[in-house]
Amino acid sequence: MKATIVDLKPAVRRPRVRWGDRLLYLYTWAIIVWLCLPIAVMIAFGFNDTTGRLNLTWQGFTLKWYGQLFSVPDLTTALVNSLTIAVVATLGSAVLGTLIGLALGKYRFRGQGALNIVQFAAISAPETVMGASLLSFFVQLGVGRGYWTILIAHIMFSLSFVAITVRSRVLTLDPSIDEAARDLGAGGWAVFRLVTLPMIFPAVLAGALLAFALSIDDFIITSFNSGSTLTFPLWIWGAQRNGLPPQVNVMGTLIFVGGILLAAGNAVVARRRR
């Protein structure tokens, strides 16, 4: 008699301790530790009290490298290049990408398929091939490589990411909201500024953050189109032979912390708007 009652309510049964779940839990943490290990080493060796350029063995704790952050002039120039390129490339790709995302999400038009294919190709083509083809193009035109060609490349490879992020947000919007605004007498620009833009803003912000991250981290495409201009990753690449100074670790740490703060801020904004 009792057995039938239990059978009818299987949901009430207390879940047993599942060893599989325990193992998976430990496994997940092991993966996280593995992923964070080189980052922890990078951060730790920014506090290493070394003398001279080599930063290979632990010599004790110091904060002096944070004080002497800008004492390697070329490295500072490279970091400034990376940051200004990332900011301008983010603004550029955010504007261009948002416009494409709006068009793809809101309208049906001829050439849509072709645009999708080009964007898909620009996202999935190997970086080595994209960098090489852009270099071929600049060589053919006789354009010298440097700051501007890096900027052009960065806008090129990040704008599709913004477009896709914005498009998926636009697709979730109810078109009748636009119509309602029009019925209330808003013109095209007013609808965009007062209705559409506030609603897609979280997606624009997310896309822009992605563009910033892609730009500041890019090495492969940049290395093909940089000429003699150095960005932060390119400087590290070149200096590596003689050992990396601790300032590199400090800058890496600051970029890491800044990135996490930006992402957290974005998450907060997204939650508030929901």
24 binds another protein (CB under 8 A): yes
Residue 69: which residues within 8 A CB-CB, separation 6 or more?
247, 250, 251
Cα separation values, 24 from 28, 29, 33, 35, 178, Å: 6, 9, 14, 16, 47
Give, as ranges, the residues between 48 and 77 that touch another protein (CB under 8 A).
56-58
Does 127 engage in binding with another protein (CB under 8 A)? Answer: yes
What is the C-alpha separation between 213 and 158, in angstroms, rounded?
10
Nearest CA-CA partner of 237 in 74, 59, 97, 87: 74
6 binds another protein (CB under 8 A): no
Which positions from 129 to 148 touch another protein by CB under 8 A, shown as an x/- string? xx-xxxxxx-xx--------
Among residues 69, 83, 91, 96, which is the contact residue for another protein, using CB under 8 A? 96
* Sequence-ordered list of residues with C-beta below 8 angstroms from that of 150, at least 6 positions apart, any chain: 81, 85, 222, 225, 226, 229, 231
Binding-site member from 152, 173, 269, 270 for another protein (CB under 8 A) = 152
- Residue 61: helix, strand or coil by DSSP? strand
Site size toward another protein, by CB under 8 A:
84
**Residue (69 or 236) nearer to another protein, CB:** 236
**190 forms part of the interface with another protein (CB under 8 A):** no
Q: Does 78 bind another protein (CB under 8 A)?
A: no
Give the residue, chosen from 54, 87, 121, 194, that forms a contact with another protein under the rule CB under 8 A.
Answer: 121
